[in-house]
Structure 1
Amino acid sequence: MFIGGLIISGCSTQKNTAQSRWWHSFMTKYNTYYNGKVAYIDGSLEKEDGNKDNFTELLPLYTVNNKNSKSLGASNFQKAIEKSQKAIQQHSIHRRPIWNKNRKKSVKDKEWLNRKEYNPFLWKAWMLMGRSQFHMGAFEDAASTFSYMSRLYATQPAIYGKARAWLAKSYVEQGLMYDAEDVIKDMYRDSIDWRAKKEWDYTLADYYIHTGEFTKAIPYMRKVVAHEMRNKQKAREWFIIGQLEAALSHHQEAYKAFKHVIKLNPPYELEFNARIAMTEVLASSQTSRMTNKLYRMAESDNNKEYLDQIYYAIGNIFLAKRDTVKAIQAYELGNTSSVRNGIEKGTLLLHLGNLYWTKEEYSDARRCFRDAFGMLDQEHPEYEKISDRSRILDALVPYIEAIHLQDSIQGLAAMSEKDRNAAIDRVIAEYKKNAKSHEEEMPTILPTNNMSDLSAQSIGQKQENNRLWYFYNPTAVAQGKITFQKIWGKRENTDHWQRSNTTVVSTDSVIQNKQDELAVYQNSQETIRKNNIKNDSLNPLKRAYYLALIPFSKEQKEASNKIIEDALYHAGIIFKDELNNLNRSEKYLVRLVSDYPKYEKIDDAYYNLFLLYSLKKENAKARYYSDALKRNCPKSVWAEILSNPNYIQNAKMEMQLEDSLYAATYNAFKESRYQEVTSNEEISKKKYPLGLIAISLSSSPD
């Protein structure tokens, strides 16, 4: 016992002798550090095996960058941190050693005496703690650890260089590029110890990837691959090199990099994506060969799970050749063939939706954006754009489809019985064709060019015993949505939505007007269906089903016209104000004032046409609709405004007053004076008409 006590006392951290340094180094290495290192390795393997890369984007060098992989291995990394902290607490030696004053100090001796930590192994515990924090995603903690470590080991170039490399990496992962750049510049000024070169190769590769300097990143990535010992990680790093080369249009170099991936026999998903990428980088010179190769891949049973990616790649090849029709066909095939609803399908739908948006095929664009919206997370770079476009299309598309539907069924009503029956038979034939190709599920009939008679009528039931269910009638759903918005306004999909205040949300300019006419026509259709519940009017394979939808009577025709004129007005406003598509807005509003001059909001239509042509700088047409407004609607508020010779000056003044009122309202809101906020809002509504403020003053006619 006495001897043991002497050993323990001789190995106290309050003493700094060769014996105490050896003892604490030994205990650090084979006790707490060992257990922490094992936990770190287990955590790293768990993160590696569970990681799910998004191959539609540039892969990150460190998998902690993947949102779904960040938490993997957390418990093991936390254990490694705790063991490291314990090792540091128990075995750190700060006391300076006793120096023989008769011995002359060399440069090496001076460095030794100026150290702040004398346990020769403890730096590894510090490094283990910082790396564990980094791979947990606790980048701020990791930066603090490596920053302190670089001060603690400032006199030891190798350890200092490694700590600074990880500090820069921690800044990079936080997006603090200026801080990372400062660390990098300082290290280059002081020179990097050769023993820290490996860490700096990783750091500089990661830094240049994040800053988008791919030309500088590639040489360091090749060094990273040379350092890597494990084939699985090496294959992933070669894939990143291929992506970088492809981004720089270095197609041959990218092809070789992806070929390296396959040679390393990686997991199948990585190999599959490498093969896909190889076809894309060579597609510019070998389009036919590469698309045929992708079609063969689609036929393989091994790739059934990846059909969305295969057809997405085919679509990209056609799009690069500016063959939009074939690109859309490939994307649509990928959409319908996909058996998963992940980021890959979401990316495909996003690109498909953008194509439809550009082609102004808004119904299809809405379908794609709506589906993609649920597959892409909020961190996606185009998430806000999708959200905004989906919001606009949710308001616009029901009006467009309502116009097309009512025009179609009115056209059917005007036909001879023979022609009408022939048109209906064509719809039934297509319905049967679609039903046959989907034996397990009755499909919805989608618009096609040869169904113009009923193309907007997306009719269909999912199963025979569910024919009566409201939600299998897309037209009823669309019209029901408009009616709902008229009563409740635009609502988020949240709990207790009906209890919240409707004052603000129901004032949307697109839906604030009455939609009773929609319900009138819908109810007439439902009445017909109920009266014929036992006959063929419920069977989409019978003519009676479609005849029940056609407005034959005068009342039905009037109700149908009400739907058209209201939809023309709202669609025209949305095209002008939300999409800035003045040509489409002109088409709808001009038809409204020409075909439906008795529309209850005809003065608004005239005024918006005046604004539209003012924006287009077609002053003669703007003046024409200004005069028409004054002549046909002399009591309208817009007529009074435009009749005032000083309306431009008034508009400018009102815009200034509106800005002042907004500033006052915002200040009241910040100070919780909510009654004043509400009061200011009411004043703004009454005093400053929105349309007046929207005038393009610089382009208005004299």
Structure 2
Amino acid sequence: MNKIRHITVIGLVAAFVILLIESCSTAKNTAATRWWQAFNSRYNTYYNGALAYVDGSLEKENGNQDNYTDILPLYTVRNKNSKELGKANFDRAILKAEKVIDRHSIKQRPQWKSNKRKTDRDREWLSRKEYNPFMWKAWMLLGRSQFHEGSMDNAISTFAYMSMLYRTQPSIYSRAQAWLAKCYIENDLAYDAEDIIRNNKRDSIPWQARKDWDYTLADYYILTRDYKAAIPYLRNVISHEMRRKQKAREWFIMGQICQEAGMNREAYKAYGKVIGMNPPYQLEFNARIARTEVMASTRSDGMIAKLSRMAKSDKNKEYLDQVYFAIGNIYLIKRDTINAISAYEKGNEKATRSGVERGALLIKLGDIYWSREQYADARRCYNLALGMTEKDNKAYERLTDRSKVLDELVPHTDAIHLQDSLQSLSRMDEKQRDMAIDKVIAALKKKEAEEKKKQEENEVANREQNDDEAFGDETYKNENHSNTNNLNLGNQSGEWYFYNPMAVAKGKQQFQLLWGKRENVDNWQRINKTVVKLQDNNLADISDERRDSILNAQEALDSVNRINQEAVNDPHKREYYLAQIPFTQEQLKVSDGIIADALFNSGVIFKDKLDNLKLSEKAFTRLITQYPDYEHKDEAFYHLFLLYSRKGQKARAESFVDSLKAEYPKSEWTILLSDPNYVVNARYGIHIEDSLYAATYDAFKADNNQQVDANVSISETRFPQGANRDKFMFIGSLNKLNEGDDEACVKGLNNLVVKYPESDVAKIAGMIINGVKSGRRLRGAKFDIGNVWTMRNETLSESEQLKTKALSAERNTQFVFMLVYQP
């Protein structure tokens, strides 16, 4: 009986539990179900997701690497290098939040008695789309995790949906709007963010959402560079922040935006707050550097002395580029450019890293050299900075453009400088020349000694570092130590071997000492010309004494030649420099030719790509004065005409037209400038030529051969340097085919390929010529421009433009369609 009663009790309890669970289902909306789903959401799935979110945030905060050369972003997700940090934890948080939403969301409206009167609050309650009172936190966790993970599009979708879901609840809606604006800001959609901010400013922001809006508005004004407007909101952000490390970072941002806004005293105080909070050393170091720059205008000498003491500290060995960068900036504020350059160069020399900090220093140094017209040094700085600058850096485009121009210019200016120096040495007496060469050799030896000392210091530092950091067995430690030394043997800067001129020079010297001067041919180690000569002379047929005598004489001659050759190839010997000096008339003529070509090319680049008319005028004037027999002198006159026309010196410009007519009456430049329509062409020529080409193409399609020939002739005489000249030549050649003249067509296409090898139509012309040369016949008396046949393997000549491509965009040709299926 007791057993039956016990079973009955258990059954009743089970039934009660089942009924309780059923009554708390998300399909029902009662006080009990709402409480149960909220309780279950909070302490089950959401709790684990919140812990994962915290772990992900700490991982991102601790692993973040900021770029202190620019204004720090308020959120580290904007740093590309930190974007992936914490991803696994954020993914887990997202998964948990989605699970909460899926399992515990209550959409069912609650039961309402029809005879009960509804208040405004009741109407709002009944119009809600979510009735789980805890669910908004799950949505917030989902959106914030997506935001910090860098999935901005997903975060935007989440907060936009959340704004719609909680439209009737101002406190939650305002928070969702704040985060939605924040997502737009970080996704570089400033207009969308501005629209949300403007709409929310019309209404009073609930106190529960004030913190979120402080962060959003501070972030918005910082990224839109309205720093004065950002300051009060950033102060609120700092007051809200609970984490010491993050608060120190926010004070640093405060210092940066105060400095940008010209509020140096406030910036100095903000940087002092950073230092006083005992932050990570890198942040503290940059705060100290920034504080010295802030006060440079009033206490420059004291700040330089303070930075010099920082440079001597062992703690700052890794940051010497930043220290000297700051010193250089202070000198620039004092308008002391010479000392600024010296400080920047020292920072570049002592830099141990190749990061954005060194890149910023090199850009600044390159800009100074650029403004001082020291283009060789500017090129060196820009080329080094390119590999250390992110593509989204605002200076990257300018850096790339200048680097390309300088890569064209500097070889010419260097050639002028070198040949002028060599000719100057050739005019000296022997004693003066030897003294000048000895100075160069002494400077080289001094530089090598400094490099060697620096190399030894780096090797000692590497050994100490390896001793401190090596863990595991002794074999691994020794192996790692050996590899480190080997890597630093010829390249203490950490650069690739062939980017280090000193390492390359030393390698060449060691090779030549060991093997002699060898030609760059295959199997050079197995080639022995002495042996070949002995075999050719058939020494086996002569006596031993005679053979020994010949071998001894040959060995003595080889020894003398080897000594002379070593001296010529050794930059530590006078012979190395004497071999490059032009002493004879033939050598001077070659040197003059190099100078003349370099003057011409540099003059064109100065005028057309750098807009430096002063240096262009200087180069062209020296060219026509010092080298009157230069083969392209007529073109130099033409460029001088353009140069003085741009300077507004019309009389001076016309004098070069007269010189062209007098000295080069048949030159293409004389014909061009003698054209009565030249002024009209120069001013409106682009539009006229475009209209002429459009009319010519229409005439070609309409088979109006005479009109095409007439327009092509106008192009040749009136626009010989026009932008569409290649297209005129192409259409003119095809028109010859329509007239039945195959030979004239091929000849015209050949001229096009030779004169405009880089043109797009030259490629089509090359394909047609390839076909003709391989035996294919052109079509009758008409030509269909949409049916240009192609040949893949045949080539007309060695010209790269005539070589066919592996793939073709031509549609009217044979092709293979492949369908691959893997079961």
Common fold by TM > 0.5:
yes
Q: Is the 8 A contact 2:664 2:670 kept in 1?
A: yes
SS of the residue 1:634 aligns to? coil
Q: Deviation of residue 288 (structure 1)?
A: 0.6
Equivalent positions of 1:436-585 (< 5 A) are 436-439=449-452, 462=504, 464-467=506-509, 534-585=565-616
Q: Which residue of 2 aligns with 1:344?
A: 357
SS of the residue 1:42 aligns to? helix
Classify 1:220/1:653 alpha carbon distance in 2 versus 1 (closer, same or farther; 3 Å).
closer
Q: Which of the residues 360, 371, 380 maps onto 1:367?
A: 380
Alpha-carbon separation, structure 2, partners of 1:239 and 1:174:
24
Q: Is the 8 A contact 2:686 2:722 kept in 1?
A: no
Q: Which of the residues 10, 15, 19 maps onto 2:28?
A: 15
Q: Which residue of 2 aligns with 1:168?
A: 181
Alpha-carbon separation, structure 1, partners of 2:206 and 2:718:
72
C-alpha RMSD of the superposition: 2.7
Letter in 2 for 1:636: S
Letter in 1 for 2:110: P
Q: Deviation of residue 107 (structure 1)?
A: 3.1
Q: Which residue of 2 aligns with 1:647?
A: 678
Structure possessing the higher relative contact order (Cα contacts under 8 Å, 6 or more residues apart): 1
Correspondence 1:225 to 2:225: no
Q: Deviation of residue 646 (structure 1)?
A: 3.3
Q: Deviation of residue 563 (structure 1)?
A: 0.7
Q: Which residue of 1 aligns with 2:305?
A: 292
Give aligned pairs, total: 609
SS of the residue 2:391 aligns to? coil
Q: Which residue of 2 aligns with 1:185?
A: 198
Letter in 1 for 2:152: F
Q: Is the 8 A contact 2:689 2:722 kept in 1?
A: no
Q: Is the 8 A contact 1:441 1:463 kept in 2?
A: no
Alpha-carbon separation, structure 2, partners of 1:11 and 1:383:
61
Q: Which residue of 2 aligns with 1:276?
A: 289
Q: Deviation of residue 687 (structure 1)?
A: 7.0
Equivalent positions of 1:416-455 (< 5 A) are 416-439=429-452
Identity of aligned residues (%): 55
Q: Structure 2 stretches of 5 or more lacking a match?
A: 1-13, 456-499, 513-559, 699-710, 725-823
Normalising by the residue count of structure 2, what TM-score does the alignment of the two structures yield?
Answer: 0.71
Alpha-carbon separation, structure 2, partners of 1:83 and 1:681:
73
Q: Is the 8 A contact 1:52 1:68 kept in 2?
A: yes
Classify 1:536/1:80 alpha carbon distance in 2 versus 1 (closer, same or farther; 3 Å).
same
Alpha-carbon separation, structure 2, partners of 1:126 and 1:563:
72
Alpha-carbon separation, structure 2, partners of 1:665 and 1:240:
62
Normalising by the residue count of structure 1, what TM-score does the alignment of the two structures yield?
Answer: 0.83
Q: Which of the residues 293, 311, 319 maps onto 2:332?
A: 319
Q: Deviations over 1:540-581 (max 9, x none)?
A: 111111001111122221111111111010000000000010
SS of the residue 2:168 aligns to? coil
Alpha-carbon separation, structure 2, partners of 1:377 and 1:531:
50
Q: Deviation of residue 382 (structure 1)?
A: 1.0
Q: Deviation of residue 225 (structure 1)?
A: 0.5
Q: Deviation of residue 691 (structure 1)?
A: 8.6
Alpha-carbon separation, structure 2, partners of 1:687 and 1:402:
37
Alpha-carbon separation, structure 2, partners of 1:539 and 1:681:
60
Classify 1:690/1:72 alpha carbon distance in 2 versus 1 (closer, same or farther; 3 Å).
farther
Q: Which residue of 2 aligns with 1:594?
A: 625
Alpha-carbon separation, structure 1, partners of 2:232 and 2:419:
63
Alpha-carbon separation, structure 2, partners of 1:59 and 1:534:
58
Which deviates more, 684-693 or 398-407? 684-693
Q: Which residue of 2 aligns with 1:253?
A: 266
Classify 1:607/1:103 alpha carbon distance in 2 versus 1 (closer, same or farther; 3 Å).
same
Q: Which residue of 2 aligns with 1:510?
A: none
Q: Which residue of 2 aligns with 1:132?
A: 145
Q: Deviation of residue 202 (structure 1)?
A: 0.6
Letter in 2 for 1:580: D
Q: Is the 8 A contact 1:461 1:467 kept in 2?
A: no
Classify 1:95/1:195 alpha carbon distance in 2 versus 1 (closer, same or farther; 3 Å).
same
Q: Deviation of residue 85 (structure 1)?
A: 1.1
Q: Structure 1 stretches of 5 or more lacking a match?
A: 443-457, 471-528, 668-679, 694-702
Q: Deviation of residue 283 (structure 1)?
A: 0.9
Alpha-carbon separation, structure 2, partners of 1:650 and 1:195:
69
Alpha-carbon separation, structure 2, partners of 1:575 and 1:46:
52
Letter in 2 for 1:27: N
Alpha-carbon separation, structure 2, partners of 1:406 and 1:614:
32
Alpha-carbon separation, structure 2, partners of 1:664 and 1:202:
61
Classify 1:346/1:36 alpha carbon distance in 2 versus 1 (closer, same or farther; 3 Å).
same
Classify 1:171/1:683 alpha carbon distance in 2 versus 1 (closer, same or farther; 3 Å).
farther
Letter in 1 for 2:654: R
Q: Deviation of residue 530 (structure 1)?
A: 9.2
**Computing the radius of gyration over CA atoms, which structure comes out larger, 1 or 2?**
2
Q: Is the 8 A contact 1:460 1:540 kept in 2?
A: no
Q: Deviation of residue 113 (structure 1)?
A: 1.6
Q: Deviation of residue 592 (structure 1)?
A: 0.8
Q: Deviation of residue 532 (structure 1)?
A: 6.7
Alpha-carbon separation, structure 2, partners of 1:604 and 1:310:
50
Correspondence 1:398 to 2:440: no
Q: Deviation of residue 681 (structure 1)?
A: 13
Q: Which residue of 2 aligns with 1:484?
A: none
Q: Deviation of residue 468 (structure 1)?
A: 7.8
Classify 1:188/1:441 alpha carbon distance in 2 versus 1 (closer, same or farther; 3 Å).
closer
Q: Which of the residues 15, 22, 40 maps onto 1:27?
A: 40
Equivalent positions of 1:28-67 (< 5 A) are 28-67=41-80
Classify 1:434/1:176 alpha carbon distance in 2 versus 1 (closer, same or farther; 3 Å).
same
Q: Which residue of 2 aligns with 1:77?
A: 90
SS of the residue 2:452 aligns to? coil
Q: Is the 8 A contact 2:231 2:257 kept in 1?
A: yes
